[in-house]
Each structure stands twice: as structure tokens, then as C-alpha cells.
Amino acid sequence: MNKSSNNCSTETNLRSALIQVQRDLALIRSPAAGLKRQRDMEVEEEEEEEEKEEEPAMETDVKIATSAKKAKSAKKRSRKVARVVEEIHESDQEMLEEEVH
């Protein structure tokens, strides 16, 4: 029995040592990972800035094209609404005429 209790305490010590080593490794890796992430983000920001400087005219063209499409669809919608209103008005007049006769 003495050996089994000794083995249990050894296993417990090994497990706690393993947990402590894993925790220590995570702490060591954490700052390095954070620095790498920060460097990668800075590189991405620089690339985005370069892209913006290279193609500002294209962005404007896309915005203008989008605005034109929106204007056309707005005109179509307003025409549809006008037709519906006109049809309702004609329908109302027809109903009034039928009631009068």
C-alpha cells in the first residue's frame, strides 16, 4: 500500500508539473504571438494605404456608377407608384360614375 500511495503522489506531482510547464509555455508564447500579430496588422495597414493611393479614381467611378444605378431604380419605383396612384384614381372615378348612374 505504501508503494501505491507513493505512485499516486508521484503521478499527482507529474500532472501538476506538466500543467505548470504548459502554463509557462503559454506565457512565453503569448507575448511573441502578440508581437507577431501586431506586426502583421501593421503590414496589412500599410498595404491597404498603398492600394488606396494607387486607385482612388476607381473608387470614385464605382461610387458614381452605384449612385446612377440607385437613381435609375428610384425613378422606376416612382413611375410605378405614379401608375398605381393613377390607376386607383381612375378606378375611383369609374366607381363614382357607376354609382351615379
- Residue where one domain finishes, among candidates 33, 54, 75: 54
Q: Tell me, yes or no, whether 2 and 43 share the same domain.
A: yes
Q: Would you place residue 44 in the very low, low, confident or very high pLDDT band (cuts 50, 70, 90)?
A: confident
Rg (CA), the chain: 37
Q: Tell me, yes or no, whether 44 and 77 share the same domain.
A: no
**What pLDDT is stored for residue 94 in this prediction?**
78
Q: Which domain holds residue 30?
A: 1-54
Q: What is the mean pLDDT of residues 27-40?
A: 75
Q: Tell me, yes or no, whether 31 and 63 share the same domain.
A: no
Q: Tell me, yes or no, whether 2 and 14 share the same domain.
A: yes
Q: How many domains does the chain have?
A: 2
CB neighbourhood size of 70 (10 A): 10
Q: What is the mean pLDDT of residues 90-101?
A: 76
**Reported pTM:** 0.30
Q: What is the pLDDT of residues 73-87, one digit of tens each?
A: 777 888 887 787 787
**Mean of pLDDT over the chain:** 76
Q: What is the mean pLDDT of residues 7-14?
A: 83
Q: What is the mean pLDDT of residues 80-96?
A: 78
**What pLDDT is stored for residue 5 in this prediction?**
63
Q: Tell me, yes or no, whether 13 and 42 share the same domain.
A: yes
